[in-house]
Structure formats: structure tokens, C-alpha cells
Chain A
Amino acid sequence: MTDKVSIQLIDSGVPGLDELLGGGLPQYSFNLIAGEPGSGKTTLAHQIMFAQAAPERKALFFTVLGEPPLKMLRYQQQFTFFDLAKVNESVRFVNLADEVLEGDFNRVLARIIAEVEAFSPAFVFVDSFRSVIEAGHRAESAPNLQEFVQRLGMHLTSWQATTFLVGEYQSSELESNPILTVADGLIVLTQNVRHNSMVRRIQIVKLRGRAQIPGLHSFRIDGTGLRIFPRAILEPTFPTTLTSERRIGIGVPGLDKMLGGGLPAGFSLLVAGPSGSGKTILATAFLAEGARAGEPGIIATFEKKPRGSSGGTLESLRKAGKIGVIDTQGIDLSSDETLYELTVMVEKMGAKRVVIDSLSGLELRLSPLFREDFREAMYRMVAVLTGMGVTVMVTTELEDRYNDLRFSPYGAAFLTDAIIVQRYIEVDSRLKRVMAVVKVRTSNHSSELREFSIDDTGIVLGAPLVEYEGLLGGRPTLSREPPPSR
């Protein structure tokens, strides 16, 4: 016999968790869910249990000390995953308080085994396992914890149960904890508070036999339970620079020519400009052109809802199913969450174009914890999306400073393959808009500064302002030499 055992993976039922686990929960594994009080351990355990429990795959949930079982049942019912019809049929709650209070591990083990024998569960949960251990420490003769845990793991594996021990542990406490040597999987939940903002994160510290996604991943808890946003990891071979033969239309007459014949597909384009210069209008034209060309698009907007013609165009495109909108008005976002939602929608819609409007709005809405890594997050966001074959347009607010030529407040200019900059200038005591293509990687492009205006149809490019000099200083003067005659 040369056939190796194949470990069946179980769908956890928690959005995003299976991706972290490298596909799902290994069947018959012995896992520890650890974290501070309030970090969501019990909710995670219940969510997994109710997702999986069925008459042919029953689940036993042992409650120990800590949260009274009635309170736990009261609060857990608030989540949509709590299925009353499964209680006592495929989910059974068992209280171990009496056995644990005696501090006799043998009695606790015997009760667990007896219940497992009687109910034949495919899943066993013990919440909170720390209570079992602390009760043991209080007993006169402290039992051998590691031996107890090993025996428990052995019995439950023999009974073919996938097991989860839930406990109030910090990561640092677990390093020398004997449970770790026995556990096949270790899931740690944390809460990070920065200023007035709280971010929940999850880490798969250990998972035997699987390649989990390492690192910390943010998650939220809402009425449906936990929603995890796996942090996109760039593979070593991830293409960070794409060369593309195909060019796509940007939707503004004349601008494709300035870009050297359109924007190379799969490129990232930064549109930088001051408030009101027309960045969202340009982004709308980009998506509308995609819709015309049969390329679905997505706009993630972190600004006030676009009004006027842009707002109307986006809404009609959305209603027609040609674009998807991620409209985020909340705060304390994580960059992982935003990127995860974008990638999910890109795959769902088969999107070819994505607009992020704007980086400035996104930064404002991020939790302070994620603002520190904003540049790295931007890099991953652009690299992951372009790696999916999507052409990305990112807008950014750029304060006009006429003694300082910059294209992004975040040093983001080098992150993108192409840059368009918009500025205001003063001509004849009037504010006028100008636009230039600053960069298109590996491509020729126009170096003209073009005046543009905005009307009901969108952006209208004007003629190059060749008769002026000092345009980027904000107060141009007429050139001494007349413009060349045509």
C-alpha cells in the first residue's frame, strides 16, 4: 500500500477563515482558540459549530466556568448563525461546572468521555478550557496538566471528533504552555486599541500539516458573526510591473493620445489633483468607457457621494450591473478589509477596471493602527489588483503648492505605472485647470500641459498652453516667443 492518508478539510462556515487555514479545518484536529476576554472566542466557536452541526455530524459544547451558560445562550442567540432547530438535535450543551469545581481532572475527563460516548459528536468544544486548568491549580494535589490534555486529545481523536478548546490566553502566555505541544492548531484572537479605535485581529499561530496564511488579519463581528479579511500576501513571483500590449480607452477624448494610445491594460494609474479639479469625473469617465467596452468595473469610494453628472452616471451604471460600488462611509476601517472586499467583488463580477476614490478618503477612514502602514498597504493593494489583471485608477488629493512639485502626499507616485496630474493655474485673474501626463511606464507619452474644462459631458481637453511659461508655479506668464504657427 502506498496511498497516503488524505486529510479532509472542513468548511469552517466563518467568512475568510478557510482561506487563512489553507483550505479549511483539518478533520479530527485538536485545536485551541485563544484570546483576551471579549475578543470573540466563544462567538467563533459557536459559528463554527452551528455551520457544521447536522444530525450526521453532531456537536457537543461543554461549558465550564466563566460566562454562565444561560447568559451565553442568551447572547449567542443574537447572531444569525444560531439555529434553534439544531439545539438538542445536533448541538448539545453540557455544563461541567460541578466536576471542574472539585478540581479532579480525572472526573472532568471521565464526564467528557461519557458524554462523547453517549452523543457521538463529530465536533467537541470546551469553553473555557482555562477554567478547567485554573480549577486544577486550586486543588490540593495539582494534576499533571500536560498528561490530562494529552489524554483528552487522544480520547477525542479516537472518537473521531474535531476538537476546539477555548481559553483566555494571550499569545505570550502560550509560548511555554504544554497545551501547545498537543494542539494541532492554534487560533489567536486579539483586540488592538489605538486612540479611540479598536481593531480586531486573528492569527493562525500553528496548524499542523497545512500551509496557513501567516500574520495578523483583521476581522469584524456583526450580527452574522465573525467576518475575517485575509491579508493579501504577495507571492515572491508576483508581477509588480506588467508589460501589456493591449491599451484601453480612458474615456476622455484626447487623453488616450496623451497617454501614448490609451492606458496599457493591467497598469495602475495615479490621478493627483487639488479638490474640485475633476478627479472623480475622470474616474467616472474611465468606468463608463469600460462599460461601453464590455469591461465591468468597480469603484471603491471613500468620499462624499458624487453628485451631478458623475453621481448620475455611476448610479445608472450600477443599476445596469456594469459596475460594482463599494461605498464606505464608516470609520476605523482596515486596509485588509478594503482590499479583501475589492478582490472578492473583482472575482464575482469579473471586473477589469477598479477605481479607488480616493487615497486621501481611505486614509481618513482607516483605523489609526493601519495608517502607520499606509504606504505598504497601498503597495499591496495596487500590486494585488493589477496582479489579478485589473487596470487600477487611484485618485489622490493634492494640495496645490506652487513652490513644491509633488504628485502624491504619500510618496505613492513610484507605486503606480502611470500618473496624471491636475492643477489650478491663474490666467487673466481666472482659475483655470490644467492636466498633464507625468509618467507612463515603458511607454512614450505626451509632455504637454493641457488646459481642460468640465461640462455636462465630463472633461473637455483644450489646447496645449504653449504660449505660457511657469504654469506649474501657478501664475504663468506669456512666453516672449510667440507660439509656433501651425
Chain B
Amino acid sequence: MLAAGLPAGETPPNADSVAEAVVDTWTRAAAELASVIGAEGVGALYARCVALARRTHLWLPAPEFAAPHANALVDLGRVLRERPAAEGLEAGSELLATMTRLLGGMIGEALTSRLLESAWGREVPDQSEQERPR
């Protein structure tokens, strides 16, 4: 799903385009989910995803409690630009995969896909094919 947000033909992508793709992909999902679970619900989901992803990417910024979700995404974009593109891509992918996995665990994969399809089109990853963190 991140690949769609990266400029075509850029191999490998640079850190700026990775940061933009990660933030944009998450923003589209957040907008769709906020309609269903509220902005604070999205903020809570993001905080949990970051907490899990920080086990392997300790440099990911933990969001401030109760701060606007947009602030957290600004912070995310900033640190992604400072990291090597490959590392940023891996962390961003993990964040998004964790989000779909957490949602899938709560409301089922099918409903998660339906909700995120509006944001990402048909690019919602099949969670059964994801590597799940221990």
C-alpha cells in the first residue's frame, strides 16, 4: 500500500518521498477511521501501533497523550526524513500493517478491509500474509 504513494520510477526511494508516502497513507486511513471511531479513537490506535513498532524501531516518536493526531503525524514525517529511506519504509510499513492487524483482531479482517478500502482503494493488505510481531 505504501508503494502506491511513492513516486514511480524512483529506485530506491529517497527519505522525503518515503516520509510523504507513509504520512499520506496513514492520514487517509485516519480520516476514514475517525468518521467511525472518532478522532480520539484513531489517536489511541496510532499510539498502540507506535508502541509496538518501537520494539524494532526505537527512534519512532511516541505521540503525546491527548494531543491532536495531526501533531503526531508531523513528528512522524520529520523523523522519517531523518532516517535512511529503507529503514523509514520498513518502519512505515510496519506501522500500517500493525494498524490493520489490530483492527482486524477487534472487528475482523473483512470489516477492516471494507472500512480501509474507502481510504486506500483495493490495496488493503491481507493480514494472513503479514508477518505478525511476537
Interface residues of A (CB under 8 A from B): 63, 68-71, 73-74, 77, 84, 87-88, 92-95, 97-98
Contact = CB atoms under 8 A, between A and B. Distances in A.
Interface in B1-57: 34-41
Given A88-B117, A88-B118, A73 B38 contact: no
Contacts of B118: 88
B49 to A, nearest CB: 14
Contacts of B40: 97-98
Given A73-B107, A74-B106, A77-B108, A84 B38 contact: no
Contacts of A93: 35-36
A187 B39 CA distance: 32
B114 A87 contact: yes
Q: Tell me whether chain B's interface is mostly helix, strand or loop, or mixed.
A: helix
A95 B106 contact: no
Contacts of B37: 68-70, 95
Contacts of B117: 88
Interface of B: 34-41, 103, 106-108, 110-111, 114-115, 117-118
A104 B23 CA distance: 32
A108 to B, nearest CB: 13
A63 B35 CA distance: 10
A74 B37 CA distance: 12
A87 B115 contact: yes
B111 A84 contact: yes
Given A77-B107, A77-B108, A84-B110, A69 B115 contact: no
A70 B41 contact: yes
B35 to A, nearest CB: 6
Nearest to A99: B38
Contacts of B110: 84
Contacts of A95: 34-38, 41
A68 B41 contact: yes
A77 B36 contact: no
* Most interface-central of A77, A88, A98 (chain B CB within 10 A): A88
B32 to A, nearest CB: 9
A63 B38 CA distance: 9
Contacts of B115: 87-88
Given A70-B106, A88-B118, A77 B111 contact: yes
Nearest to B42: A95
Contacts of B107: 70, 73-74, 77
A73 B34 CA distance: 14
Given A73-B36, A73-B106, A88-B114, 13 more contacts: A70-B103, A74-B106, A74-B108, A77-B107, A84-B114, A87-B111, A88-B118, A93-B35, A93-B36, A94-B35, A97-B38, A97-B40, A98-B39
